[in-house]
Amino acid sequence: MSCWVVPAIAAEVWGIPVIQVLERIRKGILPTKSELGFTLVDVAPGSPVMGKSAPAPAVHGPTFVYADENSERLDWHEPRRLTSRLRRPPARQLAAAA
């Protein structure tokens, strides 16, 4: 199966300078293609072609639910007020208050 990479990566895989890869591209020795403005080199042109891919996984249900428009309005003020009553002030302020 083909493995398309940019010339710099191909040079690293093959252990040669990038200049050599670019020269081989210029001479037409290496298979290349252009995608999204990038020149890509096939680093595995002689590898076997893979067969069909595995079937798509089963479709699962949604990972979210819509909030009911008639539900109680969520408000952070009341839980904040209840939580603040449990908070202990810093020791310095405790001593000054006493």
27-85 pLDDT, tens digit per residue, is 999 889 999 899 999 888 777 766 777 777 788 777 877 766 555 666 788 888 888 88
Residue 26 within a domain: yes
For residue 38, is it within any domain? Answer: yes
pLDDT band at residue 92 using 50, 70 and 90 as cut-offs:
confident
Residue 23's pLDDT band, with cuts at 50, 70 and 90, is very high
Q: Model-level pTM greater than 0.85?
A: no
Domain that holds residue 26: 4-42
pLDDT at res. 81: 86
Q: Is residue 11 part of a domain?
A: yes
Tell whether 19 is covered by a domain. yes
Does residue 73 lie within any of the structural domains? no
Tell me whether residue 28 is in a domain: yes
The whole-angstrom separation of Cα 43 and Cα 1 is 10
Residue 29 maps to a domain: yes
DSSP state letters, 38-86 = EEEEES-TTSPPP-PPPPPPPPP--S--PPPTTSPPP-SHHHHHHHHHH
In eight-state DSSP terms, residue 11 is H
Count up the domains in the chain and report the number. 1
